[in-house]
Amino acid sequence: MTGTRQLRELTNDEALHRLGSVPFGRVVFSQNAMPAIRPVNHVVDGGAVIIRTHLGAALLRSVGVVVAYEADAIDADTRLGWSVIITGYARRVQEAGEVRRYEEMLQPWVDGAMNQLIRIRPRMINGFELVEAREEVVVT
Amino acid sequence: MTGTRQLRELTNDEALHRLGSVPFGRVVFSQNAMPAIRPVNHVVDGGAVIIRTHLGAALLRSVGVVVAYEADAIDADTRLGWSVIITGYARRVQEAGEVRRYEEMLQPWVDGAMNQLIRIRPRMINGFELVEAREEVVVT
- ipTM value: 0.88
CB contact under 8 A, B6 and A109: no
What whole-number distance in Å separates Cα of residue B5 and Cα of residue A110? Answer: 5
CA of A3 vs chain B CAs: smallest distance (Å): 8
Which residues, given as ranges, of chain B have pLDDT below 70? Answer: 1-2, 60, 62, 112-114, 134-140
pLDDT tens sequence across A8-45: 999 999 999 999 999 999 999 988 888 999 999 999 99
Q: How many CB atoms lie within 10 A of CB A74?
A: 18
B104 interface with A at CB cutoff 8 Å: no
B43 interface with A at CB cutoff 8 Å: no
Would you state the pLDDT for residue A2?
A: 64
B4 interface with A at CB cutoff 8 Å: yes
pLDDT value at A115 more than 70:
yes
Buried b (16+ CB within 10 A) or exposed e, A97-125: eeeeebeeebebbbeebebbbbbbebeeb
| Superfamily of structural domain A5-129 | Electron Transport, Fmn-binding Protein; Chain A (2.30.110.10)
pLDDT tens sequence across B110-138: 876 667 899 999 999 999 999 987 655 55
B5-128 topology per CATH = Pnp Oxidase; Chain A (2.30.110)
Would you state the pLDDT for residue A75?
A: 93
* Domain extents in chain B: 5-128
Residues with Cβ < 8 Å from B137, sequence gap 6 or more? Answer: B6, B8, B131
